Chains A and B, each alone.
Chain A
Amino acid sequence: DAKTTQPPSMDCAEGRAANLPCNHSTISGNEYVYWYRQIHSQGPQYIIHGLKNNETNEMASLIITEDRKSSTLILPHATLRDTAVYYCIFSNTGFQKLVFGTGTRLLVSP
């Protein structure tokens, strides 16, 4: 299974940027990086994905290093509702076969 490494937990003050790192040193050239999050008692929610270039959408930005061995998910202005577990995943069999790790538990505090 494709493996990623994420810190188990992080804290962020409300209104500040949350930068969540992910190491995926075994990623190969055609594998995308996906980020999902899971708010308590809900199912996971897709955030963003990328291959090589940095990506931005209404929820977050994804910065992928040039060697593609790591990435950072950025929530530019974290709110209390961003408190969740964030999963970084890469897949060698497409977006339909995602292997979730244990993720990073982000706590946003007032």
Chain B
Amino acid sequence: EAGVVQSPRYKIIEKKQPVAFWCNPISGHNTLYWYRQNLGQGPELLIRYENEEAVDDSQLPKDRFSAERLKGVDSTLKIQPAELGDSAVYLCASSLPLGNYEQYFGPGTRLTVT
């Protein structure tokens, strides 16, 4: 079974430029998460989707961050414009809505803003 797929794995951009990250969850997983992980810290939830609906986006900085999951499968997280402080690893995870208590994480996208 394929795991959570993320692309790109690495991205370097200049500040004020836009950037987008893509995630394809495990097949059949209705719930999708985006996390941000700063260096030396644990992951921090940005947004959680149940199918197409964003059910928890309280930690998403909405002035510059946006996310979508149009058909309830893959998802895109966008930053526009990027700031130096956005340099981090962006992780996507997915899970079944109930039952096995486990979130499955992708390898992440390492973003460097210069």
Contact = CB atoms under 8 A, between A and B. Distances in A.
Interface stretch (A13-21, A75-83, A98-106): A98-106
A98 B42 CA distance: 10
Interface stretch (B60-68, B70-78, B102-110): B102-110
Contact of A44 (B43, B95, B101): B43
Contacts of B91: 43-44
A38 B4 CA distance: 15
Interface residues of A, number: 20
B101 A95 contact: yes
Contacts of B101: 32, 34, 46, 49, 95
A101 B37 CA distance: 11
Given A101-B42, A102-B40, A102-B42, A46 B104 contact: yes
A46 B95 CA distance: 11
Interface in A58-105: 85, 87, 95-103
B45 interface: yes
B105 A100 contact: no
A43 B44 contact: no
A99 B41 CA distance: 11
Given A43-B93, A43-B106, A102 B41 contact: yes
Contacts of B4: 43
B107 A42 contact: yes
Given A43-B91, A95-B95, 16 more contacts: A42-B107, A42-B108, A43-B93, A43-B108, A46-B104, A87-B42, A95-B102, A95-B103, A96-B33, A96-B48, A96-B95, A96-B103, A97-B48, A98-B45, A100-B41, A103-B42
Interface of B: 4, 31, 33, 40-45, 48, 56, 91, 93, 95, 101-108
Interface of A: 32, 34, 41-46, 49, 85, 87, 95-103
